[in-house]
Structure 1
Amino acid sequence: MSENTATAIESSAGESGTLHPPPLSLYVHLPWCVRKCPYCDFNSHEGRGALPFAAYVDALLADLDHDLPLAWGRTIQTVFFGGGTPSLFPPEAIDRLLQGASSRLRFAPGCEITLETNPGTAEHDRFELYRAAGVNRLSFGIQSFDDACLRRLGRIHDSGEAEAAVKLAQDAGFDNINLDLMYALPEQTLAMAERDLERAFALQPAHVSHYQLTLEPNTVFAARPPAGIPDDDASWDMQEHCQALLAAHGYAQYEVSAYARPGRQCAHNVNYWRYGDYLGIGAGAHGKLTLGHDGSILRRWKIKHPAAYLASAGRPEAIGGDDRIEPERRPFEFMLNALRLVDGFDLGLFTLRTGLPVDAIAPQLHAAVANGWLAIDAGHARPTDTGRRFTNDLISLFL
């Protein structure tokens, strides 16, 4: 370890203090989708018949009212509608939710408001109405521009619908658009992964999320893995090649699977990765709040099934659980998020977000530097290229 590294750790070692409430976001979970994808492990449910949009917005606002005492006086910096398929909800439902939320909590000027969108649910006039409601960022779950890959993934759209949906959104005035793409898909080759990116580049999105297909527990793919999934070496080749392509087209990697043009990083997700706070409303939604009055950090989640949530939202019965994060658990929680960022974090941020001095993690920092996984300079810790490749090993030091 260099003398500068040791000095950087030691210079921050004695600093500690009370917890400072970080920026606050709002996450809204809309749980229904047209069809459950075989790789999906999110809390999503196939919609059958007419969906109770109005009743669900009522439940969301009651849920928010119940959580408001945890966030009195604070300002919402970002809003994210996740799912499920949020674009199943009509614009008037999104508008009513945003109007109700902004009447209960201050929204920051220019608040980033993201709506996840399935190209298979895009309609001509909806994007204009979403924009009028206040949505200013769209995230399209495209996954691939190869129709055979899309069929194997169980998606409800084809490549033509994906391109048409993005262009409709651009015509409606959206210029802050993310495209979700996956690689290491069943029967996918390196050339196919490259073609997916080239078709994405042609649409000129502001942001690309590019991540590897994984077989998550309790999914159809985990129970019955599809044939032709690329092996680890082929997957790594795809990752390296695609990262170079993204960089060459002006998309800088700022997180494990997130790439953006300058100034277009997802502010909502960056707040997560910097161990910020967020209210979570909706079936199965999770929240994390720093409570200044007693110096604690609370994680709260809501019950998952939409029918049960609708029946109990706004009452204690809707809370799936509360978990106070004790000081000994905070280093791992902080690192689980912050070490996903390519540029890492200031050591002082660790103290601000956890209330702990840096000397609480000094042995782990020294070990990470000695392993070549972390570089520390002038009070800033950054994962090395090796550290980013072995992120799980790096994070596990802080367990």
Structure 2
Amino acid sequence: MEQLIKDLKADKAWAQNRPIESVFIGGGTPSLLSGRFYQTLFEQLNQHLSFRTDAEITMEANPGAIEASRFSEYRSAGINRLSLGVQSFQDDKLTALGRIHSATNAITAVDVLRSAGFDNFNIDLMHGLPNQTIEDACFDLETAIKLKPSHLSWYQLTIEPNTEFFSKPPPLPEEDALCDIIDEGQRLIANAGFQQYEVSAYAQPGKQSRHNTNYWQFGDYLALGAGAHGKITLANGELFRYRKVRQPNHYLDTRRLSLTASVDPIHQEDIPLEFLMNTLRLTQGFEESLLESTTGLPLSTISAPLDRAIKEGLLEKVDTKIRPTLKGRMYLNELLERFLS
């Protein structure tokens, strides 16, 4: 706790007196900490920062580490949204992913969350899993939909370097099969009343993740805790990203004068691409005025590649919004290449 508050005190000026709209408590298993810990933490945070009365406070939770009494305490501490890392409702898929919880644990966890007073929660699911069929993927989605979450995150498994899957690639669905999974999955999700508002995010009306939407709209956010990342826009227009020391034992070292590992300016020539890498993930795109309001750059800065992408059918203008077309969403990387400086 002491290091978190030390960390906050060092950075709180970067909030520039703006009210906190959302908090996301993630990384590892934050649900292992006690309700009293979070009660004390938010008491401390409120002494140093101004929170909106309706701030969205989300905690990540592992389905295998949920206790009814503890989650009631989290709700009392002010946490009002949960993100449940289910990944799949099939035990063989969970074993392949190295997850410690079972499908039964995940279903039970939802009952526990509801009994603790949480009606706003997200279920994380993956597709493109080892040996996954379209029937497997639809079973996962149908099971999740029956649990009536307010939000679904449904994203493709990616093989990262320095992982077991990278060194020993498992049999993954072929591209055609993956396309069929995505098409059928999106149909199921839409028929259940969820609206896709980002590449892998689907919400019931009015239940979009405010915290993640801020990322995608190129908003600012503070970093607090081991391995946390932040982005700040200063009053003079300078933009930078920064990150905290990653290893918990390094973060907890009280001899450290600073808990910030690096501060990296976003150079002027890189700002448009950084902006678009975020905003074009949104199905509704961005308001024409957003580039200037978040970066100080006029829309004319990107007018040439913007016009080209519209002519190629990758982008479209609808009223005052610029958004990717279906083709643009399918070929997002190729779309972004148009804006490389």
Same fold (TM over 0.5): yes
1:91-115 deviations in Å (ceiling 9; x for gaps): 2222222221111000001100000
Contact 2:68 2:116 in 1 (8 A): no
Aligned-pair CA distance for 1:218:
2.2
1:100-147 deviations in Å (ceiling 9; x for gaps): 111100000110000000001011211100000100000000000001
1:110 maps to 2:54: yes
Aligned-pair CA distance for 1:396:
2.1
Q: What is the rounded CA distance, in whole Å, between the counterparts of 2:133 and 2:255 in structure 1?
A: 46
Contact 1:62 1:313 in 2 (8 A): no
1:142 maps to 2:83: no
Please tell me the root mean square deviation across aligned C-alpha atoms, in Å.
1.2
1:354 counterpart residue number: 295
Q: What is the rounded CA distance, in whole Å, between the counterparts of 2:98 and 2:143 in structure 1?
A: 20
* Aligned match for 2:14, one of 70, 74, 80: 70
2:261 counterpart residue number: 320
1:297 maps to 2:232: no
1:370 counterpart residue number: 311
**AA aligned opposite 2:27:** G
Contact 2:61 2:82 in 1 (8 A): yes
1:200 maps to 2:141: no
Contact 1:256 1:340 in 2 (8 A): yes
* Aligned match for 2:109, one of 165, 171, 180: 165
1:392 maps to 2:325: no
Deviates more, 1:63-72 or 1:247-256: 63-72
Q: Which has the higher contact order (CA 8 A, sep 6+)?
A: 1
Contact 2:272 2:339 in 1 (8 A): yes
Name the TM-score, length of structure 1 as normaliser: 0.83
2:182 counterpart residue number: 239
Q: How does 1:222-233 map to 2 (within 5 A)?
A: 222-226=166-170, 228-233=171-176
1:220 maps to 2:164: yes
2:34 counterpart residue number: 90
Q: What is the rounded CA distance, in whole Å, between the counterparts of 2:105 and 2:187 in structure 1?
A: 27
Aligned-pair CA distance for 1:378:
2.7
Partner SS, residue 211 of structure 1? strand
Contact 1:66 1:315 in 2 (8 A): no
Partner SS, residue 93 of structure 2? helix
| Structure 1 runs not aligned, ≥5 long | 1-56
Aligned-pair CA distance for 1:393:
1.1
Contact 1:64 1:314 in 2 (8 A): no
Q: What is the rounded CA distance, in whole Å, between the counterparts of 1:314 and 1:328 in structure 2?
A: 34
**AA aligned opposite 1:151:** T
Q: How does 1:339-350 map to 2 (within 5 A)?
A: 339-350=280-291
Aligned-pair CA distance for 1:230:
0.7
1:217-272 deviations in Å (ceiling 9; x for gaps): 2222112222x211111111111110111000001100000000000000000000
Q: 1:266 to 1:314 in 2, by over 3 A?
A: farther
Q: What is the rounded CA distance, in whole Å, between the counterparts of 2:240 and 2:315 in structure 1?
A: 29
Name the TM-score, length of structure 2 as normaliser: 0.97
Partner SS, residue 111 of structure 1? strand
What stretches of structure 1 move > 3 A for 4+ residues in a row?
A: none
**AA aligned opposite 1:254:** Y
Identity %: 46
* Aligned match for 2:231, one of 284, 288, 291: 288
Partner SS, residue 148 of structure 1? helix
1:337 maps to 2:278: yes
Q: What is the rounded CA distance, in whole Å, between the counterparts of 1:96 and 1:355 in structure 2?
A: 38
**AA aligned opposite 1:62:** K
Partner SS, residue 308 of structure 1? helix
Q: What is the rounded CA distance, in whole Å, between the counterparts of 1:337 and 1:295 in structure 2?
A: 19
1:252 maps to 2:166: no
**AA aligned opposite 1:392:** N
Aligned-pair CA distance for 1:377:
3.1
Q: What is the rounded CA distance, in whole Å, between the counterparts of 1:151 and 1:64 in structure 2?
A: 38
Q: What is the rounded CA distance, in whole Å, between the counterparts of 2:8 and 2:275 in structure 1?
A: 26
Partner SS, residue 125 of structure 1? helix
Contact 1:63 1:313 in 2 (8 A): no
1:275 counterpart residue number: 218
Contact 1:66 1:314 in 2 (8 A): no
**AA aligned opposite 2:234:** L
1:271-321 deviations in Å (ceiling 9; x for gaps): 0000000001111111111111x22112111111111111158732x2111
Contact 2:237 2:295 in 1 (8 A): no
1:23 counterpart residue number: none
Q: 1:192 to 1:231 in 2, by over 3 A?
A: same
Q: What is the rounded CA distance, in whole Å, between the counterparts of 2:64 and 2:31 in structure 1?
A: 9
Contact 2:20 2:50 in 1 (8 A): yes
Partner SS, residue 224 of structure 2? strand
Partner SS, residue 218 of structure 2? coil
Q: What is the rounded CA distance, in whole Å, between the counterparts of 1:322 and 1:392 in structure 2?
A: 26
Q: What is the rounded CA distance, in whole Å, between the counterparts of 2:27 and 2:255 in structure 1?
A: 17
1:31-86 deviations in Å (ceiling 9; x for gaps): xxxxxxxxxxxxxxxxxxxxxxxxxx221111111101222412100000010111
**AA aligned opposite 1:80:** F
